[in-house]
Amino acid sequence: MNNDLLEVENVVKQYAGHLALDGVSLTVPENSIYGLLGPNGAGKTTLIRIINCITAPDSGEVRLNGKRMTPADVQHIGYLPEERGLYKKMKVGDQALYLAQLKGMTKNDALKALKYWFEKFEIQDWWSKKVEELSKGMAQKVQFITTVLHEPKLLIFDEPFSGFDPVNTDIMKREILTLRDKGATIIFSTHNMETVEDLCENISLVDKAKIVLQGNVSEIRASHATNTFVVGSKTELSETDFKLVSHITRNGIFESTLIKDPTETNNTLLKRLIEKSEILSFEELLPGMNDIFIKTVTK
């Protein structure tokens, strides 16, 4: 049984001599959060536009639930673009209701759903305000609501935390995780690699129109391991016994960063450490997605 909601197969797109996508393929599992990453101009937005049937590929195919996508499938997608699209002179409530009905909701169902979300975000007072009266973050909340309101199978968020302070960013992260837990499949496009580590299970990194890195986030980080460990010990470790990079004392504990010989197992290293001191903590220091992103796109 195929558990992939979205499949992109060998998609090519060219604009006036510029190759935007060159044989891009990826699969997005159901009920997952999938990171679509890449530097500016890499081809991410073009791919998102193709998935949304805003434009068509020159060749290749996009499938939703195993069937080739058609414009009618767009009703099953919620898309929050990086460039926001609210009408500034329109009242927030009227606009949210209008956008919900465009997605096929009845007025009655839309009003019920909007009441739920406006109360959830504690923004009932915004209903009669004009969009131009809202801050960037406030407008972002409204557009988030209009994106998820019709409970689409697939949600595409492009830099969804733009304009948010840390508190509201955390609130939105929790909402995205809740949407996934309730059955949504989410494509998440961002330059914030810390957010990728927090939310995404799998990623594709696009650079110069091609996929240059793809897979499970934890496995990617593990594959870029540098054999670096952080060890907490009761007594100071010796540079003659271990390849120390740095060491500090914190609250009476000696914290050492060291490099393990690639031929040595973790168990053997830990055994040697125990012979020299009482070991209080032992953790492999894996590179973050930010470092991996930079390393991959600057090769």
Q: What is the pLDDT of residue 84?
A: 67
DSSP-based three-state secondary structure for 101:
helix
Residues belonging to the chain: 299
Q: What is the pLDDT of residues 197-207, one digit of tens each?
A: 999 999 999 99
Domain regions of the chain by residue span = 4-89+145-222, 224-297
Per the CB < 8 A criterion, the answer to whether 60 and 10 are in contact is yes
Q: What is the pLDDT of residues 229-261, one digit of tens each?
A: 999 999 999 999 999 999 899 888 999 999 999
Separation of alpha carbons 113 and 33, rounded Å: 23
Separation of alpha carbons 223 and 218, rounded Å: 9
DSSP per residue, 118-180: HHHTT-GGGTTSBGGGS-HHHHHHHHHHHHHTT--SEEEEESTTTT--HHHHHHHHHHHHHHH
Q: If you search the block for the tokens 């510029």, which residue do you land on?
A: 18
How sure is the predictor about 3, in pLDDT bands with cuts at 50, 70 and 90?
confident
Mean pLDDT of the chain: 92
CATH number for the domain whose boundaries are 224-297: 3.30.70
Burial (CB count <10 Å: 0-12, 13-18, 19+), residue 147: buried
Q: What is the pLDDT of residue 2?
A: 52
User: Averaged over 98-122, what is the pLDDT?
Assistant: 92
How sure is the predictor about 82, in pLDDT bands with cuts at 50, 70 and 90?
confident
Same fold, 4-89+145-222 and 224-297: no
Q: What is the pLDDT of residues 111-161, one digit of tens each?
A: 999 999 999 999 999 999 998 998 888 888 999 999 999 999 999 999 888
Separation of alpha carbons 186 and 79, rounded Å: 10
pTM equals 0.88
Per the CB < 8 A criterion, the answer to whether 245 and 259 are in contact is yes
CATH 3.40.50.300 holds for 4-89+145-222: yes
pLDDT greater than 80 at residue 286: yes
How sure is the predictor about 1, in pLDDT bands with cuts at 50, 70 and 90?
very low
CA angle, residues 78, 84, 88, in degrees to nearest 5: 120
pLDDT greater than 90 at residue 214: yes
User: Averaged over 45-65, what is the pLDDT?
Assistant: 94
pLDDT greater than 50 at residue 266: yes
3-state SS string for 266-279: HHHHHHHHHHHCCE
CA dihedral 50→55→56→60, nearest 10 degrees, is: -20
